[in-house]
Structure 1
Amino acid sequence: MNWNIEFNLELTNRSVKKGELLLEAGQRCDYFYYILKGFLRLYYLDLEGNQVTHWFSSENSIVTSPFSFFRKEENILFIEVLDDTEILLITSEQFSIINNKVKTADKELRKLFAEFAMTFSRRIMDIHTKTAEERYLKLLAEHPYLFQKAKLSHIASFLGVTQQSLSRIRKNI
């Protein structure tokens, strides 16, 4: 879909290199990012300053810091580029135009947000109801590409385990 033509928008296409940060904690998130190509990691810092992987996003998906983008609250997320990436930058105003011009956009956005809410809810429940090995096997089955793109330390923090625990799990399987 060519959003610039279909919605008469001037969306900015941006190339970002592996290792760059699209967003840092404390910065206001002014964009909804649509990933055309590439791989990103969202993380935050815990009370001790350790990175905790919050989410991974890849091609044909969207990512933002929702509290900062929608509510203008302080952003605590970092968005790190894990693979050379092409993104479209969608401002709040452009987001509103798309939402207003597309008859099904509101329905699709509600569906998307409901899916995110269920996914995050399941992830939190899994941390409390599944073993680390069960969480690892589920992640491996559902998202095998993560293991090709992300560092093991990122995967370990996403699973809520130490890197040493993840190494033991992988050794035992």
Structure 2
Amino acid sequence: MNSSKDLFQHKYEISGESFELLNACMSEESKSKGELLIKVGEIHNYIYFIKTGAMRSYFINKDGKEVTYWFGFEGDIAASLSNFIKSKPSMENIELLEDSVILKISRSKLLELYETNLELANFGRKIAEKALLEMEEQILLTQFTDAKSRYLKLINRFPEILQRVKLGHISSYLGITQVTLSRIRSGK
């Protein structure tokens, strides 16, 4: 995709007119690999769209281990949902895995757009539905499929992930060790 407009119109199927309303309220920022876009315990009043780059969302479990549960790439939306929806402190970190360009819009401005533009309100609903479906799929995959099936599903969904994301993050997302991931990748 060459532009933010192409990205939004292709991925989210919003009209040029609605995109222009949304775009007028967004600002673009460049972020560096390794930065935390959102940190545990903080309240963010923004939602972020990934123009270029890669991110992951993770939390630290009771044993002090990072547990990755989401990857985001171009065109995806990054936000702490409880933070954004309920204005509660974030329960997760969102880390940039590559130098990235993001578009951000404030919660108040986005809600204002939802109130005044039916297409953008439906855009917000579709984003929420997509997030719920992805969470449900991840839970079902983790609970009811073997590690190899989870790995193959991930590679099918994100064919470039092995070139862009550390294997430790991928194994954490899949709920397996790096050794098990290496065995799966080598076909053993």
1:17-166 equivalence runs, <5 A = 17-166=32-181
Which deviates more from structure 2 when the two are superposed, residues 65-74 or residues 103-112? 103-112
Which residue type is aligned with residue 35 of structure 2? E
**Partner Cα distance (1:164, 1:7) in 2:** 45
Unpaired runs of at least 5, structure 1: none
Which residue type is aligned with residue 22 of structure 1? L
Aligned 8 A contact 1:9 1:94 in 2: no
Count of residue pairs the alignment pairs up: 173
Number of the residue aligned with 1:13: 28
SS in 1 for 2:99: strand
Greater share of residues in strand = 1
**C-alpha deviation, 1:30, in angstroms:** 1.8
Deviation beyond 6 Å, 4+ runs, structure 1:
none
**C-alpha deviation, 1:112, in angstroms:** 2.1
Unpaired runs of at least 5, structure 2: 6-15
Compute the TM-score of the two structures, normalised by the length of structure 2.
0.84
**Partner Cα distance (1:20, 1:130) in 2:** 33
Which residue type is aligned with residue 185 of structure 2? R
Compute the TM-score of the two structures, normalised by the length of structure 1.
0.91
User: Structure 1 106/6 Cα, relative in aligned 2: closer, same or farther at 3 Å?
Assistant: closer
